[in-house]
Amino acid sequence: MRTGEELLAARRVVVKVGSSSVSGDRAGQIPTLVENLARLHRAGADVILVSSGAIATGVPFLRLDERPDDLATQQAAAAVGQNILVNRYQRALTTHEIIAGQVLLTAQDIENPTHRGNARRAIERLLQLGILPIINENDTVATHEIRFGDNDRLAALVARLIGADRLVLLSDVDALYTAPPNQVGAQRIAHVPYGDSLAGIEIGESQSGWGTGGASTKVQAARLAADAGAHVLLTETRLLSAVLDGADHGTRFDAVPETESEAANVAR
């Protein structure tokens, strides 16, 4: 079965999209992204979107030329940008008669058992009601010391939290490569079996001025989700439509084999 068929047959899918894909000049990609989310929704999957982009979206409205360095201005940009970003998503989702529900989390919410349980119940109830949760880090209250670090990790933790069987990590890079993609001789890694250490692979950091996660954070997030039983696809936002149509793009990470997962549950 192709990756697209697997996604369309999934029970529960978490899709994460990076700042560089939905802000600035690329904010126009939101309707196409939403069309793909609606396609998964129509196929019967529970769909959860983890979206970066609040700060990047808010910056132009604060009349700033670049991402601010100080925490207070980042929080102000996030407060403005989150409102605008969710509004853009909802306008696109309305075309498909889907309602979004905003969920903002902090690292402490995931670490604290009570908060974590509350977050899980809220997301589960939204899904039961046919709502598409849009999750982001609560940048207006997060600090440099207590952050997820990037939304790839947040998406993986959400996938674990709600028992997703698929995680899709979307960015402006089409796949994982054996070396930085702009390097001569770099080759796409189409498939990463569970437990593969990717020895000898040069994994880089973020090259974007807006996003915080590079290839290394995506690999770490993929492994975190795979350990919990979710198969992972890493690809470019613009290629998701083609993947759902059956094209072979991106990098697939296998989930832990069911036998190992069951053994781990018994050991707990």
Residues annotated within a binding site for substrate: 52, 139, 151
CB contact burial 146-155 (16+ within 10 A = b; e otherwise):
ebbebbbbbb
Output helix, strand, coil percentages for the chain, rounded to the nearest 5. Answer: 45, 15, 35
**Strands ordered across the beta sheet of 100-105:** 100-105, 132-137, 46-51, 12-17, 166-171, 231-236, 251-253, 191-192
**Are 240 and 168 a contacting pair, CB within 8 Å?**
yes
**Are 210 and 67 a contacting pair, CB within 8 Å?**
yes
Instruction: Show binding-site residues for ATP.
Output: 16, 171-172
- Other beta carbons within 10 angstroms of residue 198's beta carbon come to 13
| Cβ-proximal residues to 52 (8 Å cutoff; 6+ apart), any chain | 16, 17, 18, 19, 22, 136, 150, 151, 211, 212
CA–CA dist 31, 90 (Å, integer): 10
DSSP state of 237: G
Instruction: Show binding-site residues.
Output: 16, 52, 139, 151, 171-172
- Other beta carbons within 10 angstroms of residue 61's beta carbon come to 13
Beta strands at 166-171 and 176-177: parallel, antiparallel or unpaired: unpaired
